[in-house]
Amino acid sequence: MATLLIFLPLILLISLPVSISQTSSNNAGDCNGIFITYVYTSGFPIPPNVSTSNSNNQAYNFRSNLTILNNSPDELKSWRVFVGFQHRELLVSASHAVLADGTTLPGDVGNGTVFAGFPTTDLKSAIQTAGDVNQMQARIELVGTQYGVASPAVPLPSSISLANDGFLCSPSTSQGDRTQVCCLKDSNAKSNITIHEEIQPRQEGDLTIMFDVTSSSESNYWAQVTISNNDNTSRLDNWKLSWEWMRDEFIYSMRGAYPTVVDTGDCIFGKQGGYYKGMDFSKALNCKKKPTIIDLPLEKTNDTTLGMVPFCCRNGTILPPFMDASKSKSAFVMQVYKMSPDLNISAIHPPQNWKINGTYSPGYVCGPPVRVSSSLFPNPAGLSSDTAAVASWQVICNISSSTLKKPKCCVSFSAFFNDSVVPCNTCACGCSNANPSNVCSASEPALLLPPEALLVPFDNRTEMAKDFNKRRDLPNPLPCGDNCGVSINWHLFSDFRGGWTARITLFNWGDTNIVDWFAAVQLDKAIQGFEKGYSFNGTIMPDTNNTIFMQGFSGLNYLLAERRGDNPRKDPPVPGTQQSVISFTKKTTPGIDVGAGDGFPSKVYFNGEECSLPVILPSGSNRQVPLASSAFSLLLTMLVLMVLQLSLWLEI
């Protein structure tokens, strides 16, 4: 009996199930499942260098190899492997794999990450390939940065494991420069590794883009993209939206918008055509990695094939919410097809690198898409309940503060106490050297003008300017023009004991009508005295205490394009114009000095663009008159009224 007790442990060890001995295997040949190894190959310290007392914050380059070998009898479909990085790693590159959560590289993986095969997603078995290791194995070369682990220590992960369901992995083991694990097939096993993104709170920005997945299947999903303008002084016209697909997705169909180019060549001759062999790609829309999307015209709003999407089909115009909240957003839907390894119902990855711009819009800088709580949509059956999106991501875009962008509009100043106009600045909207024969100076200040010159294109003002300034020495060459498509004249119309008035005139020198125009005028000291606009709808913006928001009343929301003169051989082109008088009281602004500068705006916006302002004010500001205006005011008003009447007659 004593002899039996001595040999009992050995007998029990020999009688243990074979599966247990395999799960603790240290050699690939002993693993009849999926054998995974992580091998650290090299590394070195990288700048900046830190003191020895702060060695935990010293950065090091690292290079490693991750190998997945299929020793099981069956093919491994859409492999996924978890690597438990633990040294604040920043992964810079990974060959033949992508991060399963859609994160682009470089990316923070310090809390561990899941890799997915790309472009090869499946690993065949030895039985299927006669032992061809090249088809049985995936080898990923990793390059990145880790912190605090200096040679001879080795920055190994805390653990590695297969993230596919149906496999049971033993605890991984580490020795020297490697970590390894063997995972055996177990139909009842479920992976405890999740790759779901953390839901973040929604943020505010000048413009937001929502990417809402409304339905999903294994091969494709439908998404609604909604662009919302949240800034009360900006707008977009003819918006163009672009992004970058990261996982070989392609757009099959759309409603509410359309790609600028319909092109499926990249699918037909690419891996998409190889996978979707039965698909008619002539019906698909776009297979570009970086598509550009535009809005549809108004007449497509109720088109059952292309339209029927709320907030779609407005020629790419998105207005400020303060002007019209119902027109401050744009939306479209699209059907997106996916590629392996994402061929399951829950594998959805939003595109990255979003960009948006327009012909008359500020410059925007957009951040990455962030997973947020699912958006709610009205029930399509008209019930009182809401329908939640499958998943939602939010992209925040803010107006760029770049000073390199040239204005698209400019302002001139004038007043009842001076017969001259301080014109728009020289080259206010830029100067071009496209016509070298038309020599002018981009540095000389603009010449003062007579009031009637405001209604004449710059090229036709030369003789007027010379005659008006004949008592002074004129520069040679003369100053260049402002080159702005829209100019605005701010005129002090009157200044009396109880109040004052200003007149604002808009000039459109472009070749297209401007629909639903708006302007915003910032008056730092006079805003509290604002009473009303007469021909424009003027309102103090609620989120400011110094800005008047103006737009045309119904029927006056069009700023017509420049048109030819009555006699084109003799008469210069005539701009489209709109004009209104604005009244102010002095009861709420005691001590205001209107003529000395308090009655002139410090900033002017037109359709969201900040306009160039003159650097000087009209002189002779000591005069005050009772509700009367000079001959200048009467002349310009009569001229504008004549142009307006003529424009209306031509429209009729």
Residue in the structure block whose two tokens are 């697909």: 245
Give the chain's end-to-end CA distance (angstroms, integer): 119
Burial class (CB in 10 A: 0-12, 13-18, 19+), 230: middle
**How large a percentage of the chain has pLDDT more than 90?**
65
Minimum mean pLDDT among 119-128, 303-312, 502-511: which range? 119-128
Label residue 192 by pLDDT band (50, 70, 90).
low
Return the amino acid letter for 45: P
Distance separating alpha carbons of residues 504 and 327, to the nearest angstrom: 26
Label residue 405 by pLDDT band (50, 70, 90).
confident
Statement: residue 436 has pLDDT above 70: no
Where b means 16+ CB within 10 Å and e means fewer, 598-625 reads bbbbebbbbbbbbbbbbeebbeebeeee
Contacts 24+ apart (CB under 8 A), 211-215: 211/350, 211/351, 211/369, 211/392, 211/393, 211/394, 211/395, 212/374, 212/375, 212/377, 212/389, 212/391, 212/392, 212/393, 213/348, 213/389, 213/390, 213/391, 213/392, 214/333, 214/377, 214/389, 214/390, 215/390
What sign results for the dihedral spanned by CA atoms 414, 420, 425, 431?
positive
Query: Which pLDDT belongs to residue 120?
Result: 78
Copy the structure tokens of residue 619: 């002189």
Size of the chain, expressed as the number of residues it contains: 652
Statement: residue 67 has pLDDT above 50: yes
Query: Which pLDDT belongs to residue 483?
Result: 93
Q: What is the mean pLDDT of residues 413-435?
A: 87
Label residue 233 by pLDDT band (50, 70, 90).
confident
Minimum mean pLDDT among 255-269, 282-296, 586-600, 631-645: which range? 631-645
In the chain, count of helices (H) and strands (E)?
Answer: 8, 38
Backbone angles phi, psi at 564, to 5 degrees: -70, 150
Q: What is the mean pLDDT of residues 319-338?
A: 95
Query: Which pLDDT belongs to residue 214?
Result: 96
Statement: residue 258 has pLDDT above 50: yes
Compute, in degrees rounded to 10, the torsion defined by CA atoms 122, 127, 131, 135: -10
**How large a percentage of the chain has pLDDT more than 70?**
88
Return the amino acid letter for 644: L
Label residue 625 by pLDDT band (50, 70, 90).
very low
Label residue 646 by pLDDT band (50, 70, 90).
very low
Q: What is the mean pLDDT of residues 428-440?
A: 70
Query: Which pLDDT belongs to residue 242?
Result: 97
Confirm if 423 and 483 have CB atoms less than 8 A apart.
Answer: no
Query: Which pLDDT belongs to residue 367?
Result: 85
Statement: residue 554 has pLDDT above 60: yes
Q: What is the tens place of the pLDDT at every residue in 448-482? A: 999 999 999 988 888 888 899 888 888 889 999 99
Q: Considering the chain, what is the average pLDDT of its residues?
A: 86
Statement: residue 629 has pLDDT above 60: no
Minimum mean pLDDT among 48-52, 101-105, 554-558, 606-610: which range? 101-105
pLDDT greater at residue 569 or residue 131: 131
Contacts 24+ apart (CB under 8 A), 463-466: none
Residue in the structure block whose two tokens are 């883009």: 209
3-state secondary structure 264-302: CHHHHCCHHHHHCCCCCHHHCCECCCCCEEEECCHHHCC
Supply the DSSP string of 185-211, one letter for each residue: E-TT-------PPPPB-----SEEEEE
Query: Which pLDDT belongs to residue 632?
Result: 44
Confirm if 637 and 579 have CB atoms less than 8 A apart.
Answer: yes
Supply the DSSP string of 165-183, one letter for each residue: TTEEEPPPEEETTEEEEEE
The C-alpha angle 631, 637, 642, rounded to 5 degrees, equals: 125
Name the strand (E) or helix (H) holding 644: helix 631-651
Query: Which pLDDT belongs to residue 21?
Result: 36
Q: What is the mean pLDDT of residues 33-57?
A: 94
Q: What is the mean pLDDT of residues 628-647?
A: 46
Statement: residue 394 has pLDDT above 70: yes
Q: What is the tens place of the pLDDT at every residue in 358-386? A: 887 788 988 888 889 999 998 877 788 88
Distance separating alpha carbons of residues 106 and 91, to the nearest angstrom: 5
Statement: residue 611 has pLDDT above 50: yes
Statement: residue 356 has pLDDT above 80: yes
Distance separating alpha carbons of residues 114 and 98, to the nearest angstrom: 9
Name the strand (E) or helix (H) holding 135: helix 133-136
Statement: residue 10 has pLDDT above 50: no
Query: Which pLDDT belongs to residue 382?
Result: 77
Most confident of 73-82, 104-113, 411-420, 553-562: 411-420
Q: What is the tens place of the pLDDT at every residue in 17-44? A: 433 333 344 588 889 999 999 999 999 9
Confirm if 259 and 291 have CB atoms less than 8 A apart.
Answer: yes
Distance separating alpha carbons of residues 605 and 601, to the nearest angstrom: 10
Confirm if 98 and 113 have CB atoms less than 8 A apart.
Answer: no
